[in-house]
Amino acid sequence: MVKADIGKILEIDLENDSHTVNKYGRENIEKFLGGPGYAINYLLDEKTYNHDPLDKRNVLALMTGLLTGTAYPCSGFYSVSARSPQTEIYGEGLSGGFFAAELRKIFNGIVFKNKSDSPKYLLIEEEHFELKDASNLWGLTTDKTIKELNSKHGKDYKIACIGPSGEKQVPLACIMNDHHRAVGRTGMGAIMGSKNLKAIAVKSSKKKIEYHDEDNFHKISQLLFKSFQKSPMAEILRTYGTNNITYFERLYDVPHKNWTLHKWREVPKISGEVVFEKYHIRNKPCYLCPFMCGREIEIKEGPYKIENAAGAEYETTAAFGAMCLISDVEAIAYLNDLCNIMGVDTISTGCTISFALDCYEHGILTEEDIGFPLEWGDAEAIVKLARLICEREGIGKTLSLGSRKASEIIGKGSEQFLTDVKGLEAPMHDPRGIFPLGLQYATSNRGACHGRGYANDQYSGFTGFNDSLKITKEKPMRERTIDDPKFAKDIALTQNLAEVVNALGICKQTMTSGSQIVDGLLEKLLDVLYYLTGIKFTLKSLMQIGERIFNLKRLYNTKCGITRKDDVLPPRLKLPLEKGLTKNKVVTIDLMLEEYYKFRGWDDNGIPTSKKLTELGINHF
């Protein structure tokens, strides 16, 4: 028998200290699964696109996924969605850890409306919840906030919070949970700060997630966990984390010096191997994770001394190291920790500093503008600038807006150094070696994103779901650096799949590394969902949910003014390099984009057609 309800959504009005609790039922599951799917539908219902991102009428939706907190491997993820203060379109960030798994036992999600008149944090224990005074927490870094709340309420509480940057409503501000995990991109921490919401603390020792068929759910989950452990990538991630920068360098995948160099000889100095040998303390895996990519590091002495710190991920290492030419691995670790405790996104912060370095080199920004010399690779100056961004002081007040808005203020031709799509700085994977990745960046709903699709993995041979989706398999570089319309279908379908994965609240590694070692993983996932909910999904119906979510986000963005003119790559990502395998490669996506719109069922201006919206059951928007 199919369960009528599988959870609850808590809605909190911060202004009136009132709440409602709504059932999360079968209709929601069949339309959206969970996570960002429910959130984007809610934001459209509330018409938050009509309000400034920092207006109290902007809604913040914190959602667990359908599988979050279950026995399924790597199911510790949640999403946070709102209109972004950085991009002013749909904003969304994801994070792993343990916070979401704890919350999922009680609520599927929490929606925050309006603004409290004073700092508050939300305390949840079982069915009891209340807003409590956070005046003593305001101004604390994220690590000290978590420590203070655990000291006051107990170590069993799992906590998500903002740091000083979120309080100051820095548009790059993130939300941190479990000390080391971040809802990193699009400025969701600034939305929490605008609502005077400092933290959410949750504990549940009694409630358990209910299953339609618990025995079979646990059985298949255990088999998948053991299989994932044996994947080739799992061993690498357990040892070095995601910082495989030396490997990505061999693939010509790493951008250097704000996307102007094809290689950088200092890369081995900032590798995961160096961090593991010199600074590694222990692995810090997320909830039920067989890959264990998280790690704790320590630098015992010197100007970059840190303890109980997270090891820098690949994206962070490349953003501060390769992009800014910092070859001091300790400085990169320190910058990562600084961003975490202050609560800002490391990718956008590193890339915005790289933009500033370019401006300084070309005389657009001066020492007088900045307050000190700013040279490539000058770790001390870059740390100083990062602090100004986090504190929103001096030149940091301008740069804290992100590179695109900063460029609009600075002017003087600085736009030629931008690396953003729709206001969000591109991640650290180079489309000059995979042109379809450029299409993925250009059409991603939150701005340039490698996590809302699988192009980088798919064409490099790191996915095993290609046959199930009937998409292109691994391609040599010469065959993937062309503007071929056939790639459009690949990108659209894998973007839809990414929406499914995120709505389920599971890690991307389960789909990339997992599908490499588990034959028919997508089909097994259908069994998993049946054992949880009693609902018999097909691969077609599951993928249509992903398509529905993607189109809802696009629809939201069109109401924010997004059209075909915005589905473009920035100048620096199209800059031809002078050497290497990607020499003289200029990323073009025009033919792919035409076919992409046709495959999506959008018009020539990139707007979902009435026919497509009706087909997906969302024409009421």
pLDDT number for residue 507: 96
For the segment 505-526, the average pLDDT, to the nearest whole number, is: 94
Q: What is the pLDDT of residues 365-411, one digit of tens each?
A: 999 999 999 999 999 999 999 999 999 999 999 999 999 999 999 99
Beta bridge partners of 344: 173
Rounded to a whole number of angstroms, the distance between the first and last alpha carbons of the chain is 33
For the segment 74-99, the average pLDDT, to the nearest whole number, is: 98
Backbone angles phi, psi at 571, to 5 degrees: -55, -45
> Which tokens is 240 given?
């070095």
Cite the residue boundaries of each domain of the chain with CATH code 1.10.599.10.
429-505+538-595
pLDDT number for residue 119: 98
Among 462, 484, 483, CA closest to 473: 462
Cite the residue boundaries of each domain of the chain with CATH code 3.60.9.10.
5-203
Among 358, 444, 429, 472, CA closest to 587: 429
CA dihedral defined by 557, 562, 568, 569, rounded to 10 degrees?
-60
Q: What is the pLDDT of residues 415-464, one digit of tens each?
A: 999 999 999 999 999 999 999 999 999 999 999 999 999 998 999 888 98
**554-559 long-range contacts, Cβ below 8 Å, gap at least 24?**
554/445, 554/602, 554/606, 554/608, 555/44, 555/608, 555/613, 555/618, 555/621, 556/40, 556/43, 556/44, 556/49, 556/89, 556/90, 556/445, 557/89, 557/90, 557/422, 557/445, 558/606, 558/607, 558/608, 559/49
Contact 545, 37 (CB under 8 A): yes
pLDDT number for residue 2: 58
Contact 250, 262 (CB under 8 A): no
Q: Tell me whether strands 197-203 and 120-125 are parallel, antiparallel or unpaired.
A: parallel
Q: What is the pLDDT of residues 214-262, one digit of tens each?
A: 999 999 999 999 999 998 888 899 999 999 999 999 989 999 999 999 9
User: Amino acid identity of 509?
Assistant: Q
Contact 101, 72 (CB under 8 A): no
Contact 548, 496 (CB under 8 A): no
Q: May I ask the CATH architecture of the domain 429-505+538-595?
A: Orthogonal Bundle (1.10)
User: Amino acid identity of 65?
Assistant: G
- pLDDT of 560 > 90? The answer is yes
pLDDT number for residue 6: 79
Confidence band of 182 (pLDDT split at 50, 70, 90): very high
Tell me the C-alpha distance between 236 and 272, whole Å. Answer: 10
Tell me the C-alpha distance between 518 and 531, whole Å. Answer: 19
pLDDT number for residue 127: 86
Backbone angles phi, psi at 24, to 5 degrees: -105, 100
SS3 184: coil
Contact 116, 15 (CB under 8 A): yes
Among 568, 560, 352, 591, CA closest to 448: 568
Least confident of 87-101, 148-162, 472-486: 472-486
> Which tokens is 502 given?
């995120």
pLDDT number for residue 572: 95
pLDDT number for residue 1: 52
Percent of all residues in the chain with a pLDDT value above 90, rounded to a whole number: 93
Q: What is the pLDDT of residues 326-337, one digit of tens each?
A: 999 999 999 999
Other beta carbons within 10 angstroms of residue 314's beta carbon come to: 24
For the segment 188-215, the average pLDDT, to the nearest whole number, is: 95
pTM of the full predicted structure? 0.97
Alpha carbon 583 to its chain's center: 30
Contact 588, 75 (CB under 8 A): no
Distances (CA, A) of 341 to 77, 175, 353: 20, 10, 18
pLDDT number for residue 66: 97
Q: Tell me whether strands 78-83 and 60-64 are parallel, antiparallel or unpaired.
A: antiparallel
> Which tokens is 535 given?
């609902």
Q: What is the pLDDT of residues 289-335, one digit of tens each?
A: 999 999 999 999 999 999 999 999 999 999 999 999 999 999 999 99
Q: What is the pLDDT of residues 98-148, one digit of tens each?
A: 999 999 999 999 999 999 999 999 999 998 999 999 999 999 999 999 999
Beta bridge partners of 80: 62, 93
How many helices and strands, by DSSP H and E, does the chain display? 27, 17
For the segment 462-470, the average pLDDT, to the nearest whole number, is: 92
Tell me the C-alpha distance between 311 and 224, whole Å. Answer: 27
Tell me the C-alpha distance between 84 and 171, whole Å. Answer: 8
**CATH entry 3.60.20.10 includes domain 249-396:** no
pLDDT number for residue 5: 60
Percent of all residues in the chain with a pLDDT value above 70, rounded to a whole number: 99
**CATH entry 3.60.9.10 includes domain 5-203:** yes
Question: Half-sphere exposure of 535 toward its Cβ, with a 13 Å CA cutoff?
Answer: 21
What value does the mean pLDDT of the chain take?
96
Helices assigned H by DSSP within 392-538: 395-399, 403-410, 435-443, 455-458, 466-469, 477-480, 487-504, 508-517, 521-533
Confidence band of 208 (pLDDT split at 50, 70, 90): confident
Confidence band of 3 (pLDDT split at 50, 70, 90): low
Cite the residue boundaries of each domain of the chain with CATH code 1.10.569.10.
249-396
Other beta carbons within 10 angstroms of residue 516's beta carbon come to: 19
For the segment 515-525, the average pLDDT, to the nearest whole number, is: 94
Tell me the C-alpha distance between 115 and 82, whole Å. Answer: 14
For the segment 283-291, the average pLDDT, to the nearest whole number, is: 95
Beta bridge partners of 608: 602
Among 181, 209, 206, CA closest to 104: 209
Q: For helices 539-559 and 521-533, what crossing angle results, to 10°?
A: 90
Backbone angles phi, psi at 108, to 5 degrees: -75, -20
Phi-psi region of 212 (alpha: psi -120 to 50; beta: other; left: phi over 0): alpha
